[in-house]
Amino acid sequence: MDFLNNSIFYYLCLLGIPVIIHLFNFRKHKNIHFSSIFFLKKIEEQTKSKYQIRRWIVLCNRILAISCIILAFGLPYINNPNNLSDVKKIGFYIDNSFSMERVDRMQTPLIEHAKNNAKEIIKQLDNNQQVLILTNDFQKKHQKWYAPQDAIELINNINISANSDDFQTVINRYNNLIDTLNTNRLYVFSDFQQHLNTKKNINNQNTNLKIGLLNTEGGQNISIDSCYFENPVRKTDEIEKLTVIISNHGPDNQQIKVKLNINSQQKDSYNIEVPFQSTISQSFHYVNPIDVDTIKGLLEIEDNSIQFDDKLYFSYSTNEKLEVASIYENYASKSLLNVFSDSLFKFDAYNVNQIEYERLDEVKLIILDQLNNISNSLSKRLENYLHHGGNIFLFLDKDIDVESYNHFLKNINADIIYEWKKETHIVKYINYQNNIFKDVFNEENDNINLPLVNGYFSMKKNRKSQIRKIFNFLNHDIFLAEYIYKKGRIFICTSDLKKANNNFSNHALFVPCLYNASLMNMKKKQLYHTIQNETIIEATGINKSDVVNLEKEREFDMIASVINSNQRTLINFQDQILYANNYNLIINQQKILPISFNYNRNESSMMFLTKDEIKNIFYNQKNIDFINMQQNHILHKDQDDKKRKGIEDFFIISAIILLIIELILLRIWKM
């Protein structure tokens, strides 16, 4: 304990006053009238010792009361071993994630409260103290110690960022920059969004944490979460059905207006009611432009709360083609050439002796067009193609080398070829549920016209095969079946494409079977990508040697790096994409592809941690204090964080209590 006003101790000489009072007051003679002196002597003997004790008690009580009054005027205090002025290095974490855009009653964003509170504390620091400013960006300037005045300037330049980090990452970053031998303090100003702070048992042994929990009343927010097409293929001048997912994160039903813009022209708008705490889907219909093949779209809502999730950018090209390859023995079948002559396809036909194997890995469907045999090299290539999710359509010719085919079919766990049957059959069974008939039939029809077959191979069952029958004869023999192997699938037609053996190539179901076979296992085209701390996307049709630019007209231009990883080509944009929008991906300064980036929707949630929940995420709660705040402002007594803890009130109260005790004693004892 120490005193701010040491000169007050000269007044301790006033302690002589109660002593003088006692000497003159208690020794004062009193006349007592008694009829006999015998009784006077008896009273004196009985009360003398008790009277002396009472006198000393009253005297001590008065001395203590006066001492307490004097000590109170001396302004006593207890030194704070962890006071602000004793901490040489002080850190400030200012959460600048999207949720800090929320405003309070005074329409002030939470991030402004965080910045103002931090600046008020820094203003109390001495010039010899150093300050570290941390945000979610973790830039180089946020890894240095600054003088207080420079730190204030750094805080003024903090803006909302697309980056967001959990509190464990923040603590780790701070611990990497401090000296654990010294007293360290970290001020944290955040709304502690729930989804970012799910990790438990954060270890915080070396740092004194001062947590400023910021919040606003209510939690309204509407977000556009995603959009997609059911059909993976986009065509010029065709009607599109775009499905949009919208969420209401607030406690009340909301009526919103959703707008759809295609190439800067508004195509559609809806007034939609979104129930509280729910997610809905809404379909938009429009026609792809006929004059351009690059589509850049924007979905937008009007929401007065958090705004980063009010827009969703997407883009695609109607010029992309489905790549299909056919391998033939002597000549390519005309029926296949007719099917894949559509502008939707990029069709390549290879003679069995002139196959470009590198191209086969990129196509969506490989058709084996009545080959005489399957060589070992081709068999291995096809097996690897199936393993990675490719699709094969196989037509069997009467004169094939059955042994070479069965060797391949055994390796992929399919049924094996048994014998050629020169018999006439009409297909009697059709599996409407198979994906090869997706969007082909509106309803099942028992009287449907099915292919007529005059010759085919019967198949011998393989117990390991995963078969899905498509066309069967009345005798249960297979005409067309699907076999699953690894990630891929192979469709085996037990006859050829010759009119003498069947009419399948001229049948109405021939085209949709081949068309849908090329679409199976085809990934839906990503309409957009999500901005991250390091944005990496997978690319097709790009080589490592290509020069890739990301460009936004007159606003943004950067060179991305192309890397190969696990037989995949990746484009790394690092952390250079700062805002969501539609961009152009330029390859070798020639090929231009549309590409869109959006912010992560995790921060759309309006769930936040309470004080008790924040405490529970720490392994050790000993060094954690919550700053007293009112309307997101630090209260004055916490803002000052003084060097002492004043205890003058204790002495004043003690003096009052002692004086009251004295009055009671004097009344009881009648002194």
Taking only the tens place, the pLDDT of each residue in 352-375 is 999 998 888 889 999 999 999 999
Give the mean model confidence (pLDDT) for residues 476-497.
95
Q: 176-184: list long-range contacts, CB under 8 Å, 24+ apart.
A: 177/91, 177/132, 177/143, 177/145, 178/89, 178/91, 178/206, 178/207, 179/89, 180/206, 182/88, 182/89, 183/82, 183/86, 183/87, 183/88, 183/208, 184/87, 184/89, 184/90, 184/91, 184/208
Per-residue pLDDT band for 640 (boundaries 50, 70, 90) equals very low
Q: Does the pLDDT of residue 386 top 60, yes or no?
A: yes
By CB neighbour count within 10 A (0-12 exposed, 13-18 middle, 19+ buried), where does 177 fall?
A: middle
For residues 494 and 166, the model is more confident at: 494
Is residue 185 over pLDDT 80?
yes
Q: Report whether 453 contacts 425 (CB < 8 A).
A: yes
Distance, CA of 604 to chain centre: 10
φ, ψ (nearest 5 deg) of residue 519: -95, -20
CB under 8 A, 24+ apart: contacts of 48-55: 54/665, 54/669, 54/671, 55/22, 55/26, 55/671
Residues of the chain with pLDDT > 70: what percent? 89
pLDDT category of residue 606 using cuts at 50, 70 and 90? confident
3-state secondary structure of 193: strand
Q: Tell me the average pLDDT across 170-191.
A: 81
Percent of the chain with pLDDT over 90: 48
Whether the CA torsion 626, 632, 637, 642 is positive or negative: it is positive
Confidence of residue 194 (pLDDT cuts 50, 70, 90): confident
Tokens of 103: 């405003």
Q: What is the mean pLDDT of the chain?
A: 86
Burial (0-12, 13-18, 19+ Cβ within 10 Å), 569:
middle
What tokens were used for 569?
Answer: 């080509």
pTM above 0.85, yes or no: no
In this predicted model, which residue has the larger pLDDT, 279 or 48? 279
Q: How many CB atoms lie within 10 A of CB 657?
A: 13
Q: Looking at the predicted structure, is the pLDDT value of residue 46 above 80?
A: no
Give phi and psi for 457, each to the nearest 5.
-95, 135
What per-residue confidence (pLDDT) applies to 66?
Answer: 81
| pLDDT band with cut points at 50, 70 and 90 for residue 517 | very high
Per-residue pLDDT at 217 exceeds 50? yes
Question: What 8-state DSSP symbol labels residue 97?
Answer: S
Q: Phi-psi bin for 637: left (phi > 0), alpha (psi -120 to 50), beta?
A: alpha
> Is the confidence at residue 557, as pLDDT, over 60?
yes
- Residues 131-151, mean pLDDT to the nearest whole number: 89
Supply the pLDDT for residue 47.
63
Residues 559-599 have pLDDT tens digits of 999 988 777 789 999 888 989 999 999 999 888 889 999 99
pLDDT digits (tens, 9 = 90+) for 527-545: 999 998 889 998 877 888 8
Q: Is the pLDDT of residue 671 over 80?
A: no
Map out the domains of the chain with their CATH numbers. 2-80+647-669 (no CATH), 90-218+606-642 (3.40.50.410), 222-319 (2.60.40.10), 322-519 (3.40.50.880), 529-598 (2.60.40)
C-alpha–C-alpha distance, residues 126 and 182, integer Å: 17
Kindly report the backbone phi and psi dihedral angles of residue 113, in degrees, each rounded to the nearest multiple of 5, phi listed first.
-65, -40
Please give the residue that has the higher pLDDT: either 178 or 432. Answer: 432
Which stretch of DSSP H or E encloses residue 471?
A: strand 467-472
pLDDT digits (tens, 9 = 90+) for 302-327: 887 788 999 999 999 998 888 999 99
Has residue 242 got a pLDDT over 80?
Answer: yes
Q: At residue 35, does pLDDT exceed 70?
A: no
